[in-house]
Amino acid sequence: MSAAPERVLEVRDLHVSYGAIEALKGVSLHMDDGEIVTLIGANGAGKSTTLRAIMGLVPAADGEIFFHGRPTREVPTHKLVREGLILVPEGRAIFANLSVRENLEMGAYSRRDGKGIAESFEKVYAIFPRLKERASQTGGTLSGGEQQMLAIGRALMSKPKVLLLDEPSLGLAPILVHTIFEAIEAIHREGTPVLLVEQNAMAALKHSNRAYVLETGKVALEGSSAEVLANPKVKEAYLGE
């Protein structure tokens, strides 16, 4: 018998409030090594809040979060980043005045392995050849799609053990959406598990192993991506069928 895959991330009964508004009402989810897991749901369902709570960027009122089996609710965000839990936030948040290469270097700021950093540059440039072409260009002059590539590339420079992506295809032309999802597949093939929050439910479900549907701060549905994609309620609500 083959060994069960390692559970790299687990969220149990997570509650988060913004003042009087309860944004998460007991969210539980998990991801195993080797998976792409996607969270879909309407605006305001709690998807981004879930990612931010996992990273410690918003405090949880209740519940537990485990990263490689270790509880993380008391661990500050910068330590989680050093341990390999990396978020690419919605809106990209690149350094507009720095060059593409300098932006990528910022992703490796906590690393001291010069040879490993050089290898990471090559990996990023292999996934995103456009970034190699634009290496000396400032981040602010890139197109929206190129900025998204840069944000993901910068995250890869941190050598993520788990990569969290918040709305990577938001606002991009369809051809660039395809490019971004191809890149996510490539990152996954390199061995990095990915937790994906995405408004483009069809693309997210086609490029993931399992899915959770969030509705008003709760998990309304979970299963393999194929099962969720075939669900009549999901088709009606998110796929326009």
Tens digit of each residue's pLDDT (9 = 90 or more) over 7-55 = 999 999 999 999 999 999 999 999 999 999 999 999 889 999 999 999 9
Mean pLDDT across the chain:
93
| Comparison of pLDDT for 113 and 32, the residue scoring more | 32
Burial label, 151 (beta-carbon count in 10 A; 0-12, 13-18, 19+): buried
Question: How confident is the model at residue 2, as a pLDDT?
Answer: 62
**Three-point CA angle 47, 52, 58, nearest 5°:** 120
**Three-point CA angle 194, 195, 201, nearest 5°:** 110
Domain residue ranges in the chain = 91-153
Burial label, 241 (beta-carbon count in 10 A; 0-12, 13-18, 19+): exposed
Tens digit of each residue's pLDDT (9 = 90 or more) over 193-228 = 999 999 899 999 999 999 999 999 999 999 999 999
pTM for the full predicted model? 0.93
Residue 46, classed as helix, strand or coil, is coil
Dist. CA 43–CA 124, nearest whole Å: 31
